[in-house]
Amino acid sequence: MRRIILNIMLLCWSIAVVATSETYTVVISLDGCRWDYPQWYNTPFFDRMANEGTASSLIPCFPSKTFLNHYSLATGLTPEHHGLIANEFMDCETGYDFNLSNRIMKKDPKYFGGEPIWLTAQRQGLRTAIFYWAGSDVKIHNSYPDTYLDYDQKPRLTLEQRCNKVIECLQRSKHKRPQLIMVYMNEPDKSGHNYGPHSRETRRAVERMDSLMGNLYSRITQLPIGKQVNFIVLSDHGMAWVDQSHKIELRPLLGNLPYKAYGSVPVNIYASWDNVQQHEATVDSICQRLQGVPHLRAWRKEQVPAYLHYTEHGCIGDVVAVPDLGWVVYDKPINSGGMHGYDPAYTDMWAMFRAIGPNIRHAQVKPFRNVSVYTLLCNLLGITPAENDGCIDDVKSIIKDN
């Protein structure tokens, strides 16, 4: 089915593509920037982008986590198709524990399926500069972006220095200038986790990012090529408030059943087994014990609701447990603060999207799935997409006709 959809998209591509070699696209991701932060806080630049360009909300992939959603933005694939199904999980081939805190595993290309936009662009003759985006410092398909930074190399660039990198790239000579520039920023996610989405600290972080983006765009427009730059500011997910008392402990519920659990929102649970019959019995027991637990939904992997797109990858847990918004699954004490990872049906998980530039319409666009951002970028860059889960219908109202 995905291949059929891709073929239909390709048939329409000659009609839809609007970009030329004379345009450039800059994408800035503000981690954890809720879609409604501009309604809560003083964000004159984000408001300007909405008034002069396109404003919308992005619906994240499940789980609504940072790393895997940034890779979904880059590839147009859901986690069940690109393979980064969670921040931590059991490697279904080796039985080892995958964890993003493990630098060796995080750089292993076996975990990075699909083709990220920078490789799609380079394969078709464009140049790219990608700074701190998930997967950009990994040798995927034996290639890196033309220009990139290693996220694990410290000290990392400050947020202001990252903006300077954008300007430096756009000031290169025409034959060295990247047509695609992407930058990751870790705010307001950091403040949202520490203090919650409604806090003074998060307000300051959001307003700082608005000011930083406004300054960057002003600098871009003053360049000789300023009118040729499409400027996109987006986010990966939203943020919800979690009270320290809203905690569900697995250990008392599952007792001495043989299992391993990874994560807290959501939880991938793997049943230990010596044979298939014992394994199935353990999975059944886990499901039975979790049914009816307040503020928790749990399914066998194959019964996860289709809209979550979380069944097809072999490393997804035998049982997937998802707490209600504002709850976490954890066997240790927690602090109150912000959290994400929840079902994307909750609007608290939705992310901000703004775009402005020569190929961007003035439009208010209904919320759309973030996997379609890859489709949008391919269109703006004038390149043919790799196989993906996005939909041109989600983004065609953003793009100006030739």
pLDDT single digits (tens) 344-365:
999 999 999 999 999 999 999 9
What's the whole-number mean pLDDT along residues 154-168?
99
Whether the pLDDT of residue 388 is over 90: the answer is: yes
Whether the pLDDT of residue 31 is over 80: the answer is: yes
Per-residue pLDDT band for 275 (boundaries 50, 70, 90) equals confident
Q: Is the domain of 171 the same as that of 237? A: yes
How far apart CA 82 and CA 211 sit, in angstroms, is 34
What's residue 2's pLDDT? 52
Whether the pLDDT of residue 11 is over 70: the answer is: no
Whether the pLDDT of residue 13 is over 70: the answer is: no
What's the whole-number mean pLDDT along residues 119-143?
99
Range of lowest pLDDT (20-34, 54-68, 277-291, 365-379)? 20-34
Interacting residues of 158 by C-beta distance below 8 A, sequence separation 6+? none
CATH number of the domain enclosing 330: 3.30.1360.180
Burial zone of 360 (CB within 10 Å; 0-12 exposed, 13-18 middle, 19+ buried): buried
Q: Is the domain of 314 the same as that of 222? A: no
Which stretch, 14-23, 47-56, 271-280, has highest mean pLDDT? 47-56
Whether the pLDDT of residue 12 is over 80: the answer is: no
Whether the pLDDT of residue 186 is over 60: the answer is: yes
Residue 377 DSSP SS3: helix
Q: Is the domain of 262 the same as that of 140? A: no
Whose CA is closest to 304, among 145, 118, 80, 114? 80
Structure tokens at 349: 């998980």
Q: Is the domain of 279 the same as that of 354? A: no
What's residue 333's pLDDT? 85
| Domains identified in the chain, total number | 2
**Amino acid identity at 80:** E
CATH number of the domain enclosing 139: 3.40.720.10
How far apart CA 130 and CA 98 sit, in angstroms, is 24
What's residue 177's pLDDT? 99
What's the whole-number mean pLDDT along residues 60-65?
99
Burial zone of 305 (CB within 10 Å; 0-12 exposed, 13-18 middle, 19+ buried): middle
Element holding 51 (H helix, E strand): helix 44-52
Whether the pLDDT of residue 20 is over 80: the answer is: no
What's residue 273's pLDDT? 76
15 versus 320: the higher-pLDDT residue is: 320
Q: Is 261 in contact with 346 (CB distance < 8 Å)?
A: no
Q: Is the domain of 29 the same as that of 124? A: yes
**For 334-344, how does the pLDDT look when each residue is reduced to its tens digit (9 = 90+)?**
889 999 999 99
Domain boundary among 317, 339, 361: 339
Q: What is the pTM of this model?
A: 0.94
Q: Is the domain of 67 the same as that of 185? A: yes
